[in-house]
Structure 1
């Protein structure tokens, strides 16, 4: 029987009070904030905000609790932006969105950092026994968002990013699930040969952790060859953005199959319209009908993208909808 798991790709919006406080403390807009050098007052504000978003997830009844990534001022580029071997330069548009990050330029060996592991250690204490989910950029997306001025070869650089992320993952506390966010697989798809290397890089990160690994692309559907190669990686689930593209995602699933688990991006992470739990449940059935399968071992119900773009109140409502939809799916499953 399928287990339905409500979760998110992380990268939450800051609580309204935290936006105001941190803006005053740092004197900049959020995308200009400097990560990693926070003073005590800023650290305390982030810690309180982390408590808020974990409490919200628990109150909503989500099956997986994430740390929230509130310090990730540079979005998916964060693990490199705070690294000692990386220089952050000018502001770059984050894909096609009206959000920005500082360009991470790699100028030395990508050795162990431990920044994300430290965040997760704190989140594990706050989660108080609830199932914890880690969130990281996938190696292909992280390499795509960065500029290499050290390794000198695209394949070597991707491999170095994968090794770096694998080292970070190896330091994580016990987590139930790891979401690797890979929007670049859709937005900047790898070319022939590179698609296989991207799959190998993802496999390297996934093999470093004893947890269920979900690769979550979004903002569309993967090209056929990219998807086929991704299935070669030793991962538990691939995510599908059914908000942005239904037809091509269904085609990939029908044509190439799927892993034993699946992650369905069914709630819109960028639109303030809040879905009905019953509507999410109906979409789960629709996917199953299209695939003519009876069940996956685990079906993750999530927003299609991070919820960073939403007003805080709408983000809270989206969590509640996902949790209720998963409960409905469990009750009504055949």
Structure 2
């Protein structure tokens, strides 16, 4: 089983960049308007992107993300910068003491190209690029629909929008579709199948890269898990930090894809895991599932985005992930 160190992105902004952006935009970070920045603001984000890529390279990560420094509204970002979306009031982001602006969809979700532009810039900095994209179910769940008028039609429209965005990406090694809402607000009967079809539609637009549907903040309901396995993704993510027993139960009882992503580092807690702890959690998972389950790849990752952490703790957690897979590689060489 190949072990690949990576993250789901959503990195914290360095303090000096926060201060510079606050001065340039005139208000606090969670109120900043993204999408049409002037050259000075773009320059700050370019500098941050270079720093975030360098941190990942220094940590020895096998996959490098763009960092999502511009995602002031976190997973809602692709909608909050869209021309046919009005950014509404501040709402709580899942169960955290963080907030985002409610994206209110008021017109057709046409192609934007915002995600691809950031990835194009990151592609000049690394050959091991991993894209980070909100999953269609989560993005629809975080938004308000004032245009399509039907939940199923809206989910399909969000999936089509994301598929068009993904199709414009430069060459990447991996695409992480982040789907926490499948856990925190699980779809009901009928909707669970549509959610899987939406993930499948986005994955189908990915050209020559592995697709990971990464879920977190708990474990999937059994039926939701079964439907997600029907989607044509290469791996499903399991949050071993929040609920390791229920996630192992799903895999042991119902199987999974040929590869998995394992949330083995806490993206919200400042306690830094050691490389040995990371490896032990992976080994525990491997021992807990049936011997007949043979994984091609395990993506070792934080369970959530790392936006919530102080910058120094964020960097230390990246280093732990990188060191964990480096130790595995060293063992293979000496075996």
TM-score of the aligned structures, taking structure 2 as reference length: 0.97
Kindly report which structure 2 residues correspond to 1:22-101, keeping only aligned pairs within 5 A, or say none: 22-101=21-100
- Size of the aligned set, in residue pairs, is 331
Kindly report which structure 2 residues correspond to 1:151-170, keeping only aligned pairs within 5 A, or say none: 151-170=148-167
Q: Secondary structure at the match of 1:265?
A: strand
Q: By how many angstroms is 1:329 displaced?
A: 2.9
Q: By how many angstroms is 1:220 displaced?
A: 0.4
Q: By how many angstroms is 1:131 displaced?
A: 1.0
The match for 1:300 is 299
Contact in 1 for aligned 2:60/2:326 (Cα 8 Å): no
User: Is 1:176 aligned to residue 198 of structure 2?
Assistant: no
Contact in 1 for aligned 2:264/2:301 (Cα 8 Å): yes
**1: CA distance, partners of 2:181 / 2:40:** 35
The match for 2:202 is 205
Q: Secondary structure at the match of 2:54?
A: helix
Correspondence for 1:131 among 123, 128, 132: 128
User: Is 1:145 aligned to residue 142 of structure 2?
Assistant: yes
Which consecutive residues of structure 1, in runs of 5 or more, have no partner in the other structure? Answer: none
Q: Secondary structure at the match of 1:213?
A: strand
Q: Secondary structure at the match of 1:126?
A: coil
* Distance change >3 Å, CA 329–CA 292, structure 1 → 2: farther
Q: By how many angstroms is 1:332 displaced?
A: 4.1
Contact in 1 for aligned 2:132/2:175 (Cα 8 Å): yes
The match for 1:257 is 255
Q: Secondary structure at the match of 2:230?
A: coil
Q: Greater CA deviation, 17-26 or 226-235?
A: 17-26
Deviations 1:202-248 (A, max 9, x none): 00000001210001111100000000000000000000110000111
Correspondence for 1:217 among 215, 218, 221: 215
Kindly report which structure 2 residues correspond to 1:2-13, keeping only aligned pairs within 5 A, or say none: 2-13=1-12
The match for 2:235 is 237
Q: Secondary structure at the match of 1:59?
A: helix
The match for 1:268 is 266
Which consecutive residues of structure 2, in runs of 5 or more, have no partner in the other structure? Answer: none
Q: By how many angstroms is 1:99 displaced?
A: 0.7
Correspondence for 2:188 among 175, 191, 198: 191
